[in-house]
Amino acid sequence: MSDPLKVGAVIITMGTRPDELRALLDSLAKQEGGPVEAVVVGNGSPVPDLPEGVRTVELPENLGIPGGRNVGIEAFGPAGREMDVLLFLDDDGLLAGTDTARLCREAFEADPELGIISFRIADPETGQTARRHVPRLRASDPMHSSRVTTFLGGANAVRTRVFADAGVLPGDFFYAHEETDLAWRALDAGWMIDYRADMVLLHPTTAPSRHAVYHRMVARNRVWLARRNLPAPLVPVYLGVWLLLTLARRPSAPALKAWFGGFKEGWSSPCGPRRPMKWRTVWRLTRLGRPPVI
Give residue 30's pLDDT band: very low, low, confident or very high (50, 70, 90).
Answer: very high
Burial class (CB in 10 A: 0-12, 13-18, 19+), 70: buried
Give tens-digit pLDDT for 221-253: 999 999 999 999 999 999 999 999 999 999 999
Nearest 5 degrees, angle CA 163-CA 164-CA 165? 90
The SS3 call for residue 25 is helix
**Tell me, what's the pLDDT at 205?**
85
Same domain for 138 and 87?
yes
Residue 278 placed within a domain = no
Same domain for 29 and 150?
yes
Same domain for 215 and 79?
no
- pTM for the full model? 0.96
89 bridge partner residues: 155
Same domain for 261 and 190?
no
Same domain for 88 and 227?
no
Same domain for 12 and 149?
yes
Total count of domains within the chain: 2
Domain end (from 162, 188, 206): 206
**Tell me, what's the pLDDT at 1?**
57
E strands, 43-183, where? 55-58, 85-89, 94-95, 114-122, 146-148, 155-159
Same domain for 160 and 192?
yes
**Tell me, what's the pLDDT at 210?**
53
Strands 114-122 and 155-159: antiparallel
**Tell me, what's the pLDDT at 206?**
77
Per the prediction, the chain carries an average pLDDT of: 96
Same domain for 131 and 157?
yes
Same domain for 77 and 156?
yes
Same domain for 138 and 221?
no
Backbone torsions φ then ψ of 185, nearest 5 degrees = -65, -35
Q: Which domain holds residue 237?
A: 209-272
Alpha-carbon distance of 129 to 141, in angstroms, equals 9
Give tens-digit pLDDT for 51-95: 999 999 999 999 999 999 999 999 999 999 999 999 999 999 999
Give residue 209's pLDDT band: very low, low, confident or very high (50, 70, 90).
Answer: low
Measuring CA to CA, how many Å separate 41 from each of 11, 35, 270? 6, 19, 27
